[in-house]
Amino acid sequence: MLLILHPNTKDTDPAYIKTLAHLQQLSGVTIKHHQVSGQEQQLHEIYLIGNTLALSSEEIETLPAVEKVIRISEEYRILGRHKDLQRKTGFQYKGLNFDQDSLHIFAGLCAVDNPKHVEEMMIALKANGLDCTRMGAYKPRTNPYAFQGHGKNCLPWVFDLAGKYGIKVIAMEVTHESHMAEIDQALQDAGNPCGVIMQIGTRNTQNFELLKAIGKQSEYPALLKRGFGISLSESLNAAEYLASEGNSQVIFCLRGMKSEFGAPHRNMVDFAQVPTVKRLTRMPVCIDPSHSVGSRDVAPDGVLELCHATAQGVMAGANMVLVDFHPAPEKALVDGPQALTLNELDVFLKDMEIARKAYLARVAVWKNASDV
């Protein structure tokens, strides 16, 4: 059972104290608290887990701090929409809204290689008005002999350069609980010039101990990539692991499915499920075209297949794009063949602007039709 409290309810409010006292007397019920900070108000939710069938929704709704009661029978207890299309989505971080109505482009290096390339990337981002990027310091690889990333050694100059060029948020993959501590320390040493979204890669989608560790902290949002060999439901339940530990600031990323039927692409592009994830959950939805398509092949119309796939996801309502760029793809230590060049950043952004406008126009058409 989900209890949505009145907006901006505080733990010290008499109404909250009275409500909590009543709930703590319920037998066989565990109480979990979740707070969602928005741009204009803070929402407080309480989840009652256990023997809730005997509870009266009407009685619970009369408690002074409770605005609404929702019975939950589906999966994704915390992150799910539960058929309530008006339920708040997403979160705010470093002054940016990450929700199901926003769109952020995270263009950057799949793997950090040297300060020169990082600075060139960030100069290009600033020149094009972008304040978010991806920077891979820790790189889990299928091949044990492949480049695994510079790890904590590159964090000082990555964060220094982020501050220099006005980068607000970096998406950075972590593969072990210790990486969070290393990132946290490096940010403090640099004077906290930016924020970091803890990215969980497709190989770790069901690394439940890592999910629990990231879920137990609330300083950093999480970006969870879909597991490349498991169902959508299994991947969404992995996201629920994060929320169940207390961190509901989660972005879900579609990055393609491992399948021979996806050939010649690197993976089977799954961006048609953007609206599905938004219907089932309250999470903002990211797409990763670089690891879905995996090449710079050009279609007969002159547009890169990777950009066609990205536009499909954006026109379906994607809220974030995680895409590989590199100043010199031929010198990249990881996934150079799929990286776009800095000269292509401007046209890529113009292309995505067209796709975003098309999405908004499509939504307006259907809204007008439903209003008739």
**Domain ranges (residues) in the chain:** 2-73, 92-371
Burial of 35 by CB count in 10 Å (0-12 exposed, 13-18 middle, 19+ buried)? middle
Average pLDDT on 69-78 reads 77
Average pLDDT on 236-249 reads 93
Q: Output 71 or 147, whichever has higher pLDDT.
A: 147
pLDDT of residue 372: 66
Average pLDDT on 26-36 reads 83
Nearest to 348 by CA among 295, 311, 298, 300: 311
Residue with tokens 């040297």: 114
**Model confidence pLDDT, tens digit, residues 11-27:** 899 999 999 999 999 98
Question: Is a pLDDT exceeding 90 seen at residue 8?
Answer: no
Cβ distance 284 to 89 under 8 Å?
A: yes
Instruction: Report residue 198: phi and psi, to 5°.
Output: -75, 110
Question: Is a pLDDT exceeding 80 seen at residue 282?
Answer: yes
pLDDT of residue 146: 83
The distance in angstroms from the start CA to the end CA of the chain is: 36
Question: Is a pLDDT exceeding 80 seen at residue 260?
Answer: yes
pLDDT of residue 76: 83
Average pLDDT on 26-47 reads 78
Annotate 244-300 with DSSP letters as a single string. Answer: HTT---EEEEE--B--GGGTTSSSB--GGGHHHHHHHBS--EEE-HHHHH-S--B-T
pLDDT of residue 37: 63
Q: Which CATH number fits domain 92-371: 3.40.640.10, 3.30.300.20, 1.20.58.410, 3.20.20.70?
A: 3.20.20.70
Average pLDDT on 241-246 reads 92
pLDDT of residue 38: 60
pLDDT of residue 69: 87
Average pLDDT on 41-55 reads 81
Q: What is the mean pLDDT of the chain?
A: 92
pLDDT of residue 236: 95
**CATH number assigned to the domain covering 2-73:** 3.30.70.1140
User: What span, in angstroms and rounded, lies between the C-alpha atoms of 335 and 325?
Assistant: 10
Going by pLDDT thresholds of 50, 70 and 90, the confidence category of residue 189 is very high
Going by pLDDT thresholds of 50, 70 and 90, the confidence category of residue 73 is low
User: What span, in angstroms and rounded, lies between the C-alpha atoms of 140 and 281?
Assistant: 28
Cβ distance 285 to 294 under 8 Å?
A: no
The whole-model pTM stands at 0.87
Average pLDDT on 85-97 reads 86
Question: Is a pLDDT exceeding 70 seen at residue 85?
Answer: no
**Model confidence pLDDT, tens digit, residues 173-184:** 999 999 999 999
